[in-house]
Chains A and B, each alone.
Chain A
C-alpha cells in the first residue's frame, strides 16, 4: 500500500544549514566557516557570556523558582524589560501604557506571532492579500514566515545597490511611494542582514515620512541590538524615532545573539498601540494565537534575560559583554580591510568598515564565492555575505589572501 506521503517532494535545503554541513565535512585543516550567523571568539569558539554563566548559577540555586507553565504571553518581567530595551527606559509610549509584548520562541517566533496576528486582524479580517514587503536582499526566513502565516503576496522592496555597494535609497523610497496603502513593511532595526548596510538617521526620517503618509505598517525586526555599534541605545535609534513619530508598530526582538542564548530561543514581540484599550484587545488575540502554536513559551531563557535586565550590576555587566563582542567584530572589519588594501586587491573595500553588525556583503559574485569554497575551503553564502565573527587573528591572513586570489583570478 502506497504511503500517503509518497509524493512529497524533497524540499530545497536551507542554504545556511547546507553550508554548515558542507563545512563540517570538509577535511581541509585551513577551512574557515564564514557562513554561520552566530558569534565566535578569537579562538573560533562559541562564547557563553560571563554574565549568562553567573545568572544560570543564580537560577539553579534559587529554590523558590519552579518549573510550572509560564503564562501564555510569557514571563511578565521579561516582556516589560525586553520592551524597555527596545524603546528606551523613559519611552513616553511605555509611560502612556500603550506598549505590550508577547514572549516568543526567538526572533522567528516573534515574527511568526506578529505575522499571524496581522493576517487575521490587519487591513480587514483574514486578509491574505495585504502585500508584505521584505528588503532585497533579506534574511531568507522572512519570506517563509509570512507566507506560512497565509500572506499570498510577499514582495521585495529595493534596498541594496550592488553597483555602489550601499543603500539604494531612491529605490527604497520609490517602493514605499508605490506600495498599496496599508502594505506591511519589514524593516531591519539595525545591522541589516545580510548587507550590514543601515540607513542613516536622515534616511530613516525620510522613510518614516513616506510610511506615515501612505499608512504603511511598520514591522521592525531587531535581532542585533547592541551588536551593531556596541551601544544598545544607538542601535535602537530607528525604532525609537518611529515611536516619536506616533507610529503604531510591531518590533520582533531576538536575544539569541546579544545574549548568546541561541539555543534557549528568547524572543519578544513588542507592540506599540495608539492607547491601552487597543493594546488590550490586540494582546487578547495574541493569546489565542500563542495557544494554538506553542501554548506557553519556554521559561529558562526568559528568566535569565529578565534577571539580567532587572539587576543593575548584571545589566551593566551584560552591556559590557555585548560591547566585547561588537568590538571584536569592529576589529576584524578594520583588519580585513587593511589587509586587502595592503595586498592591493582590485576594487574598493571601504564597505567592509562602513557596514555594521555581524555581516558584510563583500561584493563577491557567485562564481567567486564558489571558488572560495571549492579552492580555498572558505565557506560563505552565495550572496557574498560573510559573518565577521568567523574571522580570527589566526585565519584573517588566509582569508584576505584568498579573497585577493579569488578577485584576481575569477571574474
Chain B
C-alpha cells in the first residue's frame, strides 16, 4: 500500500491514527443491528441445525423432479442464442425496460384485445422483480395519486401476506399500512365475509393490495363470484386495486384464469396497478424479471404518468437489467416458443397438484384428524396447512421441520432432497403426518426411506 504524505509531513496510514491515541468513534456507532427478516432467520436456523433429518419446507422456488431449481431446455437454448447473437448491443435500455418485453407482459395479463390497451391507457414498466414493481407502484402512488389532496394512505394488505410488503410501502413514504382479514383458520380458506367487513370500513381512495391468484403465503384465492362482489365494493367505495401476480399460469395452469380478477377490473373501466414476476414461470429467479402494469381511466393522463414513472425509476435504479427480460420477450413473441413454454408451465402445475394430493392422501391414510381438502383447493407455490404457532414451533424445534411461522409451506419441498442433507442425490419419500387432537399437542413425524449406507 503506497504511503502518502499528509500536510504535516507525517506518514498517513490507518495504523498511525490509532497509534496517536486518537480513539475516534465510528459515525456508524449508533446504527443498531437490524432485526433479520423472518425468512432469512428461518433459513439461518435451518442451516445451523445439525440434525440429520432436518427438512426445509419454506423455500420460495419451484423445484424440478430432482429437487432443484432449473430452467427448461427451451430457456437454456434461448439464453445460449442470446449470448452468441452479434446483433445485440450492450446499450443502456430505456428506464421502462425492453419495449418488446413490456408489450408482451402487458398482453399476458390483460389479453391482447383488452379495451384499455386498444384505447392506449396502459403503461408498462419493466422492473427489478416483483419487489421492484411493488416499490415503483408505491412510489407512484405516494407522489402522484390524487395530487390535489395530500394522499398518504391507507394501503390495505391481506392478513397474512408476504412479509416484505408493508416495508416496501413504508420505504416509499406511505406509513399508513393496514390489514384486512383474509385467511380464516377455522374455515381453512379465505374468510370472505370478514374480508368484506374490513374493507367496508376503509376510507375512500384506499389502495387495496390484492392477490390475483396463488395468494402468498396461503395459496387460497377468492372465487369468481366473490371477486365480482369485491369489485362492486371497490367501485362503490372508490378504492384503488393494486394486484400482485407473481406466478401467472402457475395457479390453474391457465394464464387467462390466473389473471381473471385483473381483467375483470380492467373491463369495468377501473384504474389499477399490477405487479408481475416472471421468476417462477421461467425459473429465472436470479435475473429479477418483473413488470409493473398501470391501467388508467383516460389516455390523456398516460403521457404525464409515464413521465413521472420515468423520474421515479431514474431515482431508484435508473434502468432495469436486460438479460432476463430479453429471454422472456423472446419466448412470448414467438408463437411456437410461447406454446412450448405454456405447456411447460402446465406440467409444473400438474406436478404441484400431484404433490398436494399425495400429501393429503398420506394424511388421510395416517388417520390425521381434521379435513385436509384445503391442501388441494389452494393453488400455486404455497400451501397453508392451518397449523398454529405452537404446532409450527413444535415441528421446528422437536422434529426439525421448518415451515413459515404462519403454518405455510411449499409442498414441492416435501418431495425434494433437503438442501445440505446427506441425501442430496437421493429423493426420499417423505410424508409429513399430523395428528391433531383438541386436547393434546400434535405429534409430527417424518417417514423416510432408509438412509443409504455411508
Contacts and interface: CB of A to CB of B under 8 A. Distances in A.
Interface in A330-385: none
Contacts of A9: 147, 304, 308
A10 B304 contact: yes
Contacts of A122: 27
Nearest to B75: A67
Nearest to B166: A292
A271 to B, nearest CB: 9
Contacts of A246: 12, 14, 17, 24
A155 B94 CA distance: 28
A274 interface: yes
A156 interface: no
A212 to B, nearest CB: 10
Interface string A262-302: 11110000000111001111101101110111111111110
A264 B322 contact: yes
B34 A278 contact: no
Contacts of A47: 90
A288 B167 contact: yes
B315 interface: yes
Given A3-B271, A8-B301, A13-B307, A112 B90 contact: no
A177 interface: no
A131 interface: no
Interface string B30-48: 1111101100100000000
B203 to A, nearest CB: 14
For chain B, the bracket of interface size reads 35 or more
A240 B312 CA distance: 33
B90 A8 contact: no
B288 A298 contact: yes
A320 interface: no
B321 A300 contact: yes
B24 A292 contact: no
Nearest to A67: B286
Given A10-B307, A48-B89, A68-B285, A92 B167 contact: no
Contacts of B451: none
If over half of B's interface residues share one DSSP class (helix, strand or loop), that class is named, otherwise mixed; here it is loop
B153 to A, nearest CB: 14
Given A66-B70, A91-B1, A261-B90, A217 B27 contact: yes
B205 A90 contact: no
B357 interface: no
Interface string B234-274: 00000010000000000000000000000000000101000
A289 B171 contact: yes
Contacts of B316: 105, 108-109, 112, 148, 293
A14 B310 contact: yes
Nearest to B89: A46
Contacts of A292: 131, 135, 164, 167-168, 170-171
Contact of B286 (A68, A261, A288): A68
Given A2-B297, A5-B301, A300 B323 contact: yes
A261 B88 CA distance: 12
A50 interface: no
A314 interface: no
Secondary structure dominating the interface of A: loop
Interface string A36-74: 001000000111100010001101100000111110100
Contact of B36 (A38, A57, A70, A284): A284
Given A244-B14, A275-B26, A66 B69 contact: yes
B350 interface: no
Contacts of B17: 246
A262 B90 contact: yes
Given A8-B301, A205-B6, A288-B34, A69 B286 contact: yes
B105 to A, nearest CB: 17
A273 B28 contact: yes
Contact of A69 (B60, B128, B171, B317): B60
B6 A67 contact: no
Given A56-B83, A293-B316, A287 B91 contact: no
Contacts of A275: 26
Contact of B26 (A125, A248, A264, A288): A248
A209 B69 contact: no
Contact of B145 (A5, A17, A93, A256): A5
A106 interface: yes
A121 B283 CA distance: 37
Given A67-B285, A96-B14, A144-B314, A293 B131 contact: yes
Interface in B1-19: 1-4, 6-7, 12-15, 17
A263 B319 contact: yes
Contacts of B445: none
A92 B14 contact: yes
Contacts of B30: 121, 125
Contacts of B144: 5, 8
Given A109-B318, A282-B28, A288-B167, A3 B1 contact: no
Most chain B CB within a 10 A radius of its CB, from A106, A147, A285, A300: A300
Interface of A: 1-11, 13-14, 17, 38, 45-48, 52, 56-57, 59-60, 66-70, 72, 88, 90-93, 96, 104-109, 112, 116, 121-122, 125, 141, 144-145, 147-148, 150, 205-206, 209, 217, 240-241, 243-246, 248, 256, 260-265, 273-275, 278-282, 284-285, 287-289, 291-301
27 contacts: A4-B146, A4-B240, A5-B271, A5-B296, A7-B146, A7-B148, A9-B147, A45-B89, A48-B90, A56-B83, A68-B285, A69-B279, A69-B286, A109-B316, A121-B31, A141-B314, A141-B318, A147-B315, A263-B92, A264-B322, A264-B323, A274-B25, A274-B27, A281-B33, A287-B34, A291-B167, A293-B316
Given A147-B315, A240-B1, A291-B37, 4 more contacts: A4-B205, A108-B318, A148-B316, A295-B131
Leading 3 A-B pairs by shortest Cβ distance: A299-B286, A274-B26, A108-B318
Interface of B: 1-4, 6-7, 12-15, 17, 24-34, 36-37, 40, 60-61, 68-71, 79-80, 83-84, 89-95, 128-132, 135, 139, 144-148, 164, 167-168, 170-171, 173, 205, 240, 269, 271, 279, 283-288, 296-298, 301, 303-305, 307-308, 310-312, 314-324
